[in-house]
């Protein structure tokens, strides 16, 4: 059995926040894999189902971010799980928007939800780090994470959530590389065959090499018509 925890804050006013991308991840998994309706349990909302052969409990703590560990510990104790059975989906300031990384163990890097889980379980659980980018200065972090994703973020956010859902069964079975590959297939920059940002502008600024006119081309070719014909079949 696995416990997938999405971190966020409860309430409609926080639903679209960058800080709530963990909630969004487990909600997308529940929807795409036809989990039964969410129900109140363990100081949060839970849904139980299967991802491939694995039974998985999805959990959204409703204790607010700073006390997320209370709900996680309650679920771990009830199901007699170990920290290694727990995977936490959370926002990550130190990754570019749309990036996804998998990590086991280590510090909490100042993330309040992870800090709370550390206090209850220790560090030996798995994390799915979901990049939201950084506002540029530490004084702007609080307002940034508690603000909604911008309209410009919708495409990559949907691709990321879809990739997480498509790889969820691999993640539940401990196939981390296959999980990350599933995400990468959705969020790769070349997925639409478009130029990366700035490439189109650079192409416009780079003048094309001038093409020789017909007179110049003729002047450069001193072969007779018969020689030109023969050269075509060599």
Distances in Å between the Cα of 8 and the Cα atoms of 75, 80, 106, 151 are 17, 24, 21, 20
Three-class SS state of 46: strand
Candidate list 19, 33, 90, 111, residue with the active-site label? 19
Residue 192 burial (CB count, 10 A): 8
Distances in Å between the Cα of 174 and the Cα atoms of 2, 39, 64, 199, 202 are 10, 26, 28, 38, 43
Active site residue 33: no
Residue 12 burial (CB count, 10 A): 6
Rounded Cα distance between 68 and 12, Å, is: 18
Rounded Cα distance between 35 and 31, Å, is: 6
If you search the block for the tokens 């889980």, which residue do you land on?
117
If you search the block for the tokens 């094309």, which residue do you land on?
208
Helix or strand run (H / E) with residue 128 = strand 126-131
Active site residues: 19
């Amino acid at each position: 059995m696995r416990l997938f925890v999405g971190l966020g804050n409860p309430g409609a006013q926080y639903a679209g926040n960058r800080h709530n991308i963990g909630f969004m991840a487990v909600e997308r998994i529940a929807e795409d894999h036809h989990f039964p309706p969410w129900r109140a349990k363990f100081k949060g909302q839970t849904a139980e189902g299967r991802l491939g052969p694995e039974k998985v409990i999805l959990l959204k703590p409703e204790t607010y971010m700073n006390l997320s560990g209370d709900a996680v510990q309650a679920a771990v104790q009830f199901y007699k799980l170990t920290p290694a059975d727990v995977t936490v989906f959370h926002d990550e300031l130190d990754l570019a928007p749309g990036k996804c990384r998998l990590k086991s163990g280590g510090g909490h890097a100042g993330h309040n939800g992870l800090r709370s889980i550390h206090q209850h379980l220790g560090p030996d659980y798995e994390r799915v780090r979901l990049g939201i980018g950084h506002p540029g200065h530490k004084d702007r972090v609080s307002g940034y994470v508690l603000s909604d994703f911008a309209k410009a973020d919708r495409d990559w956010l949907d691709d990321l959530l879809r990739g997480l859902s498509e790889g969820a069964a691999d993640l539940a079975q401990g196939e981390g590389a296959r999980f990350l590959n599933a995400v990468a297939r959705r969020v790769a920059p070349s997925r639409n065959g478009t130029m990366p940002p700035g490439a189109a502008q650079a192409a416009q600024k780079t003048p094309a090499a001038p093409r020789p006119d017909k007179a110049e081309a003729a002047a450069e070719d001193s072969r007779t018509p018969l020689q030109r014909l023969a050269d075509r079949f060599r």
